[in-house]
Structure 1
């Protein structure tokens, strides 16, 4: 699974980073970005939770 953050939609709420800091990080400006090219299997469910809880619906998975 791969995760992506739409930088045009992200508003820096940080929910994804709070839920799964192993996959998401925040830039110096406070916006989310994915820190790994492939989501490790043990974090897939948590990443799906982050997708559902992102207030801006800025995260997608494939």
Structure 2
């Protein structure tokens, strides 16, 4: 179980850190997937998918 967070980079990283800590305190460990090209978000998210990679792979 987990969350896919679309356009995660439009929400401050501190929010995601607090949200993950709070939610996992009640639900246990979850998988967090972010839609972002910003590598800083991997501090909070387990994985990301990025449009830049998709467009590169289409070439």
TM superposition score category, shorter chain reference: 0.3 to 0.5
Larger radius of gyration: 2
Q: Kindly indicate which of the two structures has a greater share of residues assigned to helix.
A: 2
When normalised by structure 1's length, the TM-score is 0.34
Higher relative contact order (CA 8 A, sep 6+): 1
Question: TM-score, normalised to structure 2's length?
Answer: 0.35
